[in-house]
Amino acid sequence: MESQIIRPGYLTAHQTARTLGISLAGVRQLVRRGRLTRSGGTERQPWFAVTDVAALVAKRSTGKAA
């Protein structure tokens, strides 16, 4: 359910999962491990900063290439 209005510069958990190519459980694990920080929303429907997600995508892509 992505009917929530979100501010520009932020992604929902579903959008973050799609961008990273992982499941929602994977997003929760990244948060739990401190690799991704919630930037707004609610406990059940968090938002993540686009810059944080983009940095994680870049880090993951360079890690796979090495």
Nearest to 39 by CA among 5, 9, 4: 9
**pLDDT at position 2, please?**
52
**pLDDT at position 5, please?**
80
Residue 66, pLDDT above cutoff 80? no
Q: Is 60 or 36 the better-scoring residue by pLDDT?
A: 36
Region 33-60: mean pLDDT is 94
Q: Could you tell me the pTM of the whole model?
A: 0.83
Using alpha carbons only, give the angle 46, 52, 53 rounded to the nearest 5 degrees.
75
Region 16-44: mean pLDDT is 96
**pLDDT at position 58, please?**
94
Nearest to 15 by CA among 55, 49, 42, 58: 49
**pLDDT at position 61, please?**
86
